[in-house]
Homo-oligomer: A and B are copies of this chain.
Amino acid sequence: MSDPQMAVLAPTMRKLAKRFPLSPEDQAAFLALPVSLKKLAVGNYIVREADIARSCCVLLSGFAYRHKIVRDGARQIVSINVPGDMVDLHNSFLGVADHNVQMLTAGEVAVIPSRAVQDIAYLRPAIGRAMLLDTLVDGSIFREWIANVGRRDARSRVAHLLCEFAVRLQAAGESEARNYHLPMTQEQLGDATGLTAVHVNRTIQALRQDGLISTDKRSVTIENWEGLVTTGDFNTAYLHPERAEGEPR
């Protein structure tokens, strides 16, 4: 709205533009989206399942996670969001939330009216296309997570998750490649991998003993990247890291 807020969407725009260039006019329109800023504490909800969406949040700082609760109360984390991510495009377009989004750390979001997001996607096809590409990449990550929890053993699941964080945090400019702050408890790691906290604990100990990683509080250092990649059966292809158009135009 006011000047100081003009640039808050810049990282998100750069992320969108990375896969497909946006014209200066499109970029300006995106940056001019009406936003209000909101600080959030650890554990605050951005979206609750079954909410009717009236706004779309962009994560400016801090981390968030999406999760679903199954009948017996168990929780499954279905993805992690890093700064720059549009946290609920889904909800803006589909109207009703099918999962929860909660802050993993304290942070700040830019709140944009759903209608403004829908309109810009429609009135500026390049932005609509960028959102589609972003959503397709999200889908690819979801598929990899299905394979991760469905067909890998505990050791591989955890190693895979650690590899994914390393790559995504680096891509978001949030950390170095081999050493990053992982703001998740072992219980949350379990919820992301379909394991219990106890088993995550033992699995991490095994990874440490094998010299693949070391940890200090919540910071993870990857001691042997190749080994961790092999253990986690990790291949960056599913993150579609760069412009991956069949035919650039």
A interface vs B, CB < 8 Å? Answer: 50, 52-54, 66, 68, 70-71, 74-76, 78-79, 89-90, 92-96, 98-99, 114-115, 118, 121-123, 125-126, 128-129, 131-133, 135-140, 142-147, 149-152, 156, 193-194, 233, 237-238, 240, 244-247
Cβ of A94 to closest chain B Cβ, rounded Å: 5
Q: A125-B128, A143-B66 are in contact. Are A150 and B233 (CB under 8 A)?
A: no
Q: How many copies does the complex hold?
A: 2
Q: A122-B126, A132-B135 are in contact. Are A147 and B94 (CB under 8 A)?
A: no
In the complex, chain B residues whose CB is within 8 Å of the CB of A152: 70
Cβ of A19 to closest chain B Cβ, rounded Å: 8
Cβ of A103 to closest chain B Cβ, rounded Å: 19
B237 with A50: CB separation less than 8 A: yes
CB closest residue in chain B, given A129: B122
In-complex Cβ contact of A99 among B54, B79, B143, B244 (8 A): B143
B94 with A137: CB separation less than 8 A: yes
In-complex Cβ contact of A140 among B98, B129, B149 (8 A): B98
In the complex, chain B residues whose CB is within 8 Å of the CB of A52: 246
A98 to B70 Cα, complex, angstroms:
28
